[in-house]
Chains A and B, each alone.
Chain A
């Protein structure tokens, strides 16, 4: 076989090899994308759910644990201020190593309910976004700490 043909084949082979690498990287990218899109979905439904709550504003807010090994199904009243953490004196104690001892707090101010991360190691997530500053909570918002998920009621 002539050397020129072999040379062309050599470059073609390397090109297909890189095509494979590119396709593999693209497959990883595609797999990550629907999750990012899925993160937006609960937010829009939460907004829809928040509207009626403005009309029926009530002083007692509660937060329900919807995903946790031990606390699933339990509801806690915010009642001014509510601490979440690994330490036993928290209002909601999550005894998991991902949770910092004082992890986050919920507090009421000017008729609003706010969520604040207390410098935790692994972060506090509101509707799948990590919060960096105190953020207002709406009914139906979901809070994720470690593997525990809570939802705002009322």
Chain B
């Protein structure tokens, strides 16, 4: 009964999300003289059919799962689609619709194939090596540099960003590894200045991850992924062991890495200069142009935005990928961007709740890892485009244009949904106790 109620909640939220998404596409079409409403109707149909199918798959394969994850992802995906279509009605727009369909197929396939997420922990070393391989693959001659960063693999007519898939493989590996070792890593054998310090050798895994993150930064010039992988591991390590010292040491390593990066690479120095001095006349027409345009777009948007199709978000370079949030800010204003932010926060909140309800260490750490991946990635890019942090190019989950990103994020939420389903489906000990008490109380003595 509870499962049916959850699925009905999900359906009603999903319908609202799809109405909003279709509305956004329709608004783009009616606002611009170059588009007709008939152009976007096929997109709406694909979106509605795709998500309703995903919902039906959940009814069949994850009945007890959290009812919010899918509608929240759907609304981000649909609004992102409207913005991408608005920016590129012939190129990226239709491509993103196709990628959404592919993503939903992978979402359904993940739910169907991974019937028990605990099975994943058996393949931890394979997944760990695959993840590491994917992460470092673009550094080999196979990688193609785009905009200075080497994160792409090209085969045939396709280009693919293996780092996006690597993050899921590595999160599974971290979760399995840490679930196995958490007690060992948490043992504090020494006490220095009232701090409990674990054995020095237990800092090894953190150092290894630091090395991998540095390698990504050095060979692929991808600051965003480098930061993302390191922070995911750090948060998971902290949650597994509850030892603050790892966090402190991790921050130390992060600042050391950032300092080395700043000293060695011109492009890191340039990012920091743009961040601190975006309106410098020497930079604004050149290197800081993109950042400045992003801020102008947000300023133009004001509180309520210009309305879909009525701003000029196309002036921001890379508006459909990294800077999609600024494009949204111009046309939906602060109100729209805050709503998007709240939706991301709700996803993270649900993810953490799924982790709390998971019944084993592996499930708990996996849910945490997947949630943190989404949350940190969102934070890094939103901080970048709003000039809270130096910009590190990375996609905004579900909103940005990009097949690899969309696909891996759909797999990510499918795994979260699977953990959520199993957390709720297995008999709740408290509920069993209630039945026992109820039964005994009714027996006359």
Contact = CB atoms under 8 A, between A and B. Distances in A.
Interface in B167-198: 183
A23 B310 contact: no
A20 B429 CA distance: 34
Q: How large is the interface on B (under 10, 10 to 19, 20 to 34, 35 or more residues)?
A: 35 or more
Nearest to A12: B23
Contacts of B343: 21, 24
Contact of B429 (A17, A31, A147): A147
Contacts of A128: 430
Given A14-B332, A21-B339, A48-B441, A66 B16 contact: no
B337 to A, nearest CB: 11
B260 interface: no
A13 B16 contact: no
Contacts of B256: none
A97 B185 CA distance: 14
B336 A17 contact: yes
Interface in B48-100: 67-68, 71-72, 75
A10 B68 contact: no
A142 B437 contact: yes
Contacts of A25: 346
A92 interface: no
Contacts of B17: 20
A7 interface: yes
Given A19-B16, A48-B441, A151-B433, A24 B335 contact: no
Contacts, number: 112
B16 A23 contact: yes
B282 interface: no
Contacts of B13: 20, 23-24, 27
A45 B437 contact: yes
A95 B305 CA distance: 57
Contact of A24 (B31, B71, B336, B432): B71
A27 B68 contact: yes
Nearest to B443: A49
Contacts of B346: 21, 24-25, 28
Interface in B274-317: 304-305, 307-308, 310
B166 interface: no
Interface string B413-435: 00000000000000001101110
Contacts of A147: 429
Contact of A17 (B68, B307, B339): B339
Interface in A41-59: 41-42, 45-46, 48-49, 52, 56
Contacts of A13: 20, 23-24, 27, 308, 332
A144 interface: yes
A9 interface: yes
B437 A140 contact: yes
A18 to B, nearest CB: 6
A24 B430 contact: no
Interface string A1-40: 1000011011101101111110111011011000000100
Contacts of A41: 434
Contact of B31 (A6, A46, A52): A6
Q: How large is the interface on A (under 10, 10 to 19, 20 to 34, 35 or more residues)?
A: 35 or more
A31 B342 CA distance: 19
B67 A27 contact: yes
B19 interface: yes
Contacts of A48: 441
B20 A16 contact: yes
Contact of A67 (B24, B432, B441): B432
Contact of B436 (A20, A24, A38, A66): A66
A149 interface: yes
Contacts of A97: 183
Contacts of B432: 66-67
Contacts of A144: 430
Nearest to A21: B342
B201 interface: no
A68 to B, nearest CB: 9
Nearest to A67: B429
Contacts of B20: 13, 16-17, 20
B140 interface: no
Nearest to B439: A45
A95 B441 CA distance: 31
A140 B434 CA distance: 10
Contacts of A42: 433-434, 437-438
A49 B437 contact: yes
B375 to A, nearest CB: 17
Given A10-B27, A16-B19, 12 more contacts: A13-B23, A13-B24, A14-B332, A14-B333, A17-B339, A23-B13, A24-B71, A27-B13, A31-B6, A41-B434, A97-B183, A128-B430
12 contacts: A6-B310, A10-B27, A11-B304, A13-B24, A13-B308, A17-B332, A20-B13, A20-B16, A23-B12, A23-B13, A42-B438, A151-B437
Interface of B: 6, 9, 12-13, 16-17, 19-20, 23-24, 27, 30-31, 67-68, 71-72, 75, 183, 304-305, 307-308, 310, 332-333, 335-336, 339, 342-343, 346, 349-350, 429-430, 432-434, 436-438, 440-441, 445
